[in-house]
Amino acid sequence: MPVVKVSRRGANRLKDGHVWVYRSDIVDANGIAPGALVAVTDDRDKPLGTALYSSASQIAIRMLSTGAVHDLSALLRKRIQEAVAYRKRIVHDTDAYRIVFSEADFLPGLIVDCYNDLLSLQVLTQAMDTEVVRQAVLAELAQSLKPQSVIERVDPRVRELEQLPERSSSLLQGEKTSTVFTMNGVRFQHDALEGQKTGAFLDQRENYAAAAQYARGEALDVFCYHGGFALHLAQQCSKVTGVDSSRPALEVADRNAELNGRAVEWIEANAFDLLRDYASAGQQYDTIVLDPPAFAKSKSNLETALRGYKELNLRALRMLRPGGILVTCSCSYHVSSTDFLQIVTQAAQDTHRTVRLLESRGQAKDHPILLAVPETAYFKCLIMSAS
C-alpha cells in the first residue's frame, strides 16, 4: 500500500480524533494515485492508520481507520451496515432520512439519503468515485435496504474541485424515480432527479416538528422550498404563506399542499425585497420561519453573511405580533452558534423587543455530529418568542 507521511501538526490532529489532514500538513505523497487507499505515518514513520487520498482537494487525507485495512470493500460494507443500524435506533416518524453522512459515519465523501423506497447517493471525493468503492457501496445498499431504485445526484462543482470527469445525475439501479415520503405525518412528493441537494432538506425534519409545537395564528415561511416548514405549520396555523425565489420549488410546494389537503399561499419573490416591503407596509405575523441558504460558503465571506442574517432577523422581528414566534436557522458551518446567537441578539436589541429563547437546536439526529470532527456540526435553529 502506498504511504503518505504527515507533519507533526497533522499527526496531532489525527491523535485528537479528527479524520482530515490538510495538504499543508503532508510531508510526502509523491506519485500517489488520485483516490488511492494509503497507509499514513507521522514524520518518524510511525503508523497512524489507513486513509483515502485526494490529489486535488485541500483535504488530502480522510482517515478510514486507525489500523490497517486489508479489504476495503468489506470495511465499507460493514460501515454502511453500522450506519443503517444507527438510524434504526434513533430515527422515528419518517421514511425519509440520511443513512450515510460522510465523515460522521466514517465513510468520508459519501452521502446516502433514503426517500421511502428510493435511495439518493452523492459522491464527494476521488476515492468514493472509484469503481471498486462504487460496487461495494451499491451492493451493500441493495442488500441492507432493498430499495426500488438508487439514484446518483451529481454536484458538478464538487466533481470539478476533485478533478473528477464530468458525470450527470442518473439512475444507478432500478427504474423508479419518483415517490411520496412522509415525515411527522406530513406527505411530500419526491422526484429523485429534480430539486436542490438530494431533493429535500432532511436535516430540518426534527425542527419542523419542534416549530409546529409553538406555531399559531398567521405564519410566514421564508425560504420555504418545497414547503417543509409551511406544511407543518399549517397543522396549527390559521393562515400560512410560503416565500421562495425558485418557481420550480414552489410548484412542488403547491403539489405538496394538495397532497396534504392544506391551503397555503405561495409567493415567488426575493426574500430580502419582500421582507423589506412587508415590514415597511406594517404587515404582521404570529409565526415567522427564516431558513435561508448558506450565506457563508467560506470563511472569507463571513462578514457579508452575518450582515445578511442580521437584516433578515431584524425585519422578521419587526413583523412579529406581541407573543409571536420566530424560528430562525443558519446552515453555514462558518457561522458558529455563538456568532448566530449574537446576531439575533443584536437584531432583538435594535427592535427593542424582549426575546426569549425557547429552543436552541441543530441538525436532525440522522446527520450525526462527531465531537472530534467539529465540521460535522453545521446547523443552527433557534426558536424564540418575542414580547
Give the residue numbers marked as catalytic.
331
Distance, CA of 109 to CA of 352 (rounded, Å):
45
- Smallest gap from Cβ 296 to ligand SAH, in A, equals 14
**Closest CB to ligand SAH among residues 109, 195:** 195
- Smallest gap from Cβ 379 to ligand SAH, in A, equals 11
Binding site for ligand SAH (CB under 6 A): 201, 204, 223-226, 228-229, 244-246, 249, 270-272, 291-293
**Closest CB to ligand SAH among residues 119, 249:** 249
SS3 246: coil
Element (H, E) at 63: strand 59-65
- Smallest gap from Cβ 163 to ligand SAH, in A, equals 28
SS3 265: strand
- Smallest gap from Cβ 245 to ligand SAH, in A, equals 4
- Smallest gap from Cβ 186 to ligand SAH, in A, equals 11
Contact 378, 353 (CB under 8 A): no
Which residue reads 430580502 in cell numbers?
A: 272
What residues have CB less than 8 Å from 10, skipping those under 6 apart? 21, 22, 25, 26, 42, 61
The candidate with the shortest Cα–Cα distance to 326, out of 307, 311, 308, 348, is: 348
Which residue reads 444507478 in cell numbers?
A: 172
In the complex, which residue's CB is closest to ligand SAH?
228
DSSP 94: B
DSSP 300-331: GGHHHHHHHHHHHHHHHHHTEEEEEEEEEEE-
**Closest CB to ligand SAH among residues 130, 204:** 204
**Closest CB to ligand SAH among residues 46, 247:** 247
**Closest CB to ligand SAH among residues 106, 225:** 225
**Closest CB to ligand SAH among residues 106, 379:** 379
- Smallest gap from Cβ 203 to ligand SAH, in A, equals 9
β-bridge pairing 149-152 and 170-173: antiparallel
Distance, CA of 76 to CA of 83 (rounded, Å):
11
Distance, CA of 186 to CA of 305 (rounded, Å):
32
β-bridge pairing 265-268 and 186-191: unpaired
Backbone angles phi, psi at 62, to 5 degrees: -125, 115
Distance, CA of 32 to CA of 129 (rounded, Å):
16
